[in-house]
Chains A and B, each alone.
Chain A
Amino acid sequence: MTDLKQIINTKLELASSPHVHTKLSTERAMQMVILALLPCVLSAVIYFGIYQLLIFLVSIGISMGTEYGIKRIRKQANTLSDGSAFLTGLLLALILPPNFSLVFTGLGAFVSIAIGKEIFGGIGYNIFNPALVGRAFLQAAFPVQMTTWTKTSFNVDAVTSATPLGGFKFDGIAADLGSMFLGNTGGSLGETSALAILIGGIFLIALGIVNWRIPVSMIIGILVFGSLIWMINPEAYMNPLYHLVGGGFLFGAFFMASDWVSSPITAKGMWIFGLGISLIIVIIRVFGGIPEGVMYAILFMNAWVPLINRYTQPTIFGAKK
């Protein structure tokens, strides 16, 4: 038996309740998201070759370096250990085209962290998804390189190296849904394999890190809005299933839109956010000049988040509705 008096003086903590805490922490959440992205990294390497690992390396390295540098210049505490800079770098790499220039990759990573995150004050304060900010910059600065698609390693017929969405929009070619599900099509590194995305995404929902409402509302939205357009003229417009598995939709739904910082906090707000993203995606894909619109749709809805939060505050328990 220990002498309790001794413990009182030296080790006993005094704090107000609650005295227990969930296992989840910021650091652990970031680690879990990184873990959930491994299937996508794997699919990128399988379909596009080992070279792609360099893109990951550069993107993650520059992201972390940028954050470290900015924190140093601003004389703030180093936040690398929370894992969020690593994650931003990883996410950016996954939405870049295969065999993308390493210099441009680094530039994109710098913009992601510097403009997308640190300029607002660092983790928790950014309005837009940092990785998407980086990609939007690259899209504007290097439009040709950003839309140069490599065919996958297993694409035996090798007719086209266009993405399924681009192929449909510009050439009217419908890709094989099965290949799209597995990821054997042209597209960004981590976006082609619906299977890999679903493995990671469902894992995160099960852990409670991704709130199910955002991916679910986006999926319902894309199927409903996609079907409405499709029913007008099934010949001219895409089957809603293409909307679902094509382009960056699923990756955006599970890993981008669901980003904690840049998505709404209320349940109702999450539904509005998710449905809004899908509506804009369908509009861009069907009526826009570019085949894909996930990035712009998410960034656009990010800007509405503060307003959505304000107007979707839940009614306090027991108060009159």
Chain B
Amino acid sequence: MSFFSINKSFKGGVHPDEHKDLTENSAFEIMPYPTEVILPLSQHIGKPSKVLVKKRDLVKSGQVIAEPDGFISSIIHSPITGKIKDIGKTASVGGRPQEAVTIVAEGEDEIVFMEPLDAESITSEMIIERVKEAGIVGQGGAAFPTYVKLMPPKDKNIECIIINGAECEPYLTRDYRYMVERTKDLIVGIKLIMRALGVKRGIIGIEDNKPEAIRMLKEATIPHPEIKVEVLKTKYPQGAEKMLIKVAVNKEVPPGKLPLDVGVVIQNIRTAISVYDAVVKGEPQFTAALTVSGFGITTPKNLIVRVGTTIQQVLDYCGGTNDDARKVIVGGPMMGVAQYDMSAPVQKATSGLLVLTEPEMKHSQETNCLRCGACVDVCALNLIPKDLAKFSKAGKWDEAEALGVTVCMECGTCSYNCPANIPLVQWIRLGKQRVINIQRSKQNVS
């Protein structure tokens, strides 16, 4: 269908098998209350939060247990009612042990919400304050504290917000479910974000493989002419900020710059829902919503779970894994993190949990580079992945830097498309990190 699509798109990109049909028609299920949760103090980009509780303290669901440490940081609420079991290093997504608070459930679930506010009369300052109090972090993957994004520097003139409903990662259907299940709340959430930023224009970008979401949102935005639904061609990485801005408002974010440098703020679908929940219901962000999918899981589902529930518990709830399971991934298949320790917890911004089997991954033997240009053809940022990878592999950091290695957004499109199956983005990631480190150490010297 999308091969002949006339909908707006960007240059480059690929179209991996979507496999969204595994879960797109499964309405959200609320996973039963866990007996124990693990809350890493880094649920977000920025400084880890500061713990406010001690071992053996009793906490209620929704109670603040950690406060922001610095501007770019976040509040953390207890997702369950119980007792603080431990504060210390635990397993985490990605494998590195992380400072975390472990809570054991005790007694009935008692939820303490904040006071609901009136969405019609609320001021910009009040919205920002509430988003901060609710501990909302961006749901698009990077988990950037949302309230910071709602307070752009005074010299930046923000013209519009774009709500990212592309959901271009294969398998994931979380944002899609929100668009069809909570359409009205979503619109209110978007309007709250617009008011917080003082912008008059909102765009919801949705890939054309979600016709039902497009239809419902187009209908729901009829009374709100300031919000427009933009239909995008289904192509990875359409959901990348730079690609979304290019297609939605035809602006290019220069290398090293942010969306707000071109007058745009991007928020994810679920972030807008979280803003709605925080303002209208007074609910802090103490749940995560995720798609559990892949051919290696018995029953794929869309789930709402309390933050801190372990991966093992989620997998068990979905019937466990099949015998041919080969990889467990937190996030999507293109940018997610492979996981080996199932005792690691779901975090605020976790959007997916995939159990993949060999046939889905289609890895082949790595051969020499054939200089076919397939990586150049699909790189949405116009880089030359094969050269970046070559220089990174050879440790030629200056050459890699000159070719723009730090511009790479690590979307993985090049590795996906490489017929020689060379781990291009993997090498580039290494080079990028090294070049950034070198740049930093030079700055420190001068």
| Residue pair B377, A211 in contact (C-beta under 8 Å) | yes
Stretch at the interface among A9-17, A179-187, A285-293: A9-17
The interface residues of chain A lying within 8 Å CB-to-CB of B331 are 17
Smallest Cβ-Cβ distance to B426: which chain A residue? A16
| Residue pair A22, B14 in contact (C-beta under 8 Å) | yes
Residues of A within 8 A of B (CB): 1-2, 4-5, 7-8, 11-29, 79, 82, 122-125, 208, 211, 260-267, 270, 313-320
Is the CB of B83 closer than 8 A to any CB of chain A? Answer: no
State in angstroms the CA–CA spacing of A29 and B420 once bound together.
Answer: 10
State in angstroms the CA–CA spacing of A20 and B336 once bound together.
Answer: 11
| Residue pair B368, A22 in contact (C-beta under 8 Å) | no
| Residue pair B368, A23 in contact (C-beta under 8 Å) | no
A-B contact pairs, 13 of them (CB 8 A): A1-B321, A17-B335, A18-B333, A19-B327, A19-B333, A20-B334, A21-B362, A26-B420, A124-B371, A264-B373, A265-B372, A266-B384, A319-B255
Smallest Cβ-Cβ distance to B417: which chain A residue? A22
Is the CB of B441 closer than 8 A to any CB of chain A? Answer: no
Is the CB of B96 closer than 8 A to any CB of chain A? Answer: no
Residues of B within 8 A of A (CB): 14, 16-17, 170, 242, 246, 252-255, 257, 298, 312, 315-316, 319-323, 325-329, 331, 333-342, 354, 356, 360-365, 367-374, 376-377, 380-384, 386, 403-404, 407, 410, 412-413, 415-417, 419-421, 423, 425-426, 429
Known: A18-B412, A19-B333, A124-B368. Is A1-B320 also a contact (CB below 8 A)?
yes
The interface residues of chain A lying within 8 Å CB-to-CB of B421 are 21, 25-26
| Residue pair A20, B17 in contact (C-beta under 8 Å) | yes
Q: Which one of B253, B333, B338, B365 lies within 8 Å of A14 (CB-CB)?
A: B338
Q: How far is the CB of A32 from chain B (nearest CB, A)?
A: 10
Smallest Cβ-Cβ distance to B254: which chain A residue? A318
Known: A16-B338, A17-B334. Is A27-B381 also a contact (CB below 8 A)?
no
Give the residue among A15, A25, A27, A317 with the most B Cβ atoms within 10 A.
Answer: A317
State in angstroms the CA–CA spacing of A318 and B315 once bound together.
Answer: 42
Q: How far is the CB of B4 from chain A (nearest CB, A)?
A: 13
The interface residues of chain A lying within 8 Å CB-to-CB of B425 are 17-18
Smallest Cβ-Cβ distance to A210: which chain B residue? B372
| Residue pair A4, B253 in contact (C-beta under 8 Å) | no
A-B contact sample (8 more), CB < 8 A, given A262-B371, A313-B403: A4-B315, A15-B327, A15-B338, A18-B415, A20-B16, A265-B376, A316-B255, A317-B382
Smallest Cβ-Cβ distance to B336: which chain A residue? A17
| Residue pair A20, B420 in contact (C-beta under 8 Å) | no
The interface residues of chain B lying within 8 Å CB-to-CB of A11 are 325-326
Smallest Cβ-Cβ distance to B404: which chain A residue? A316
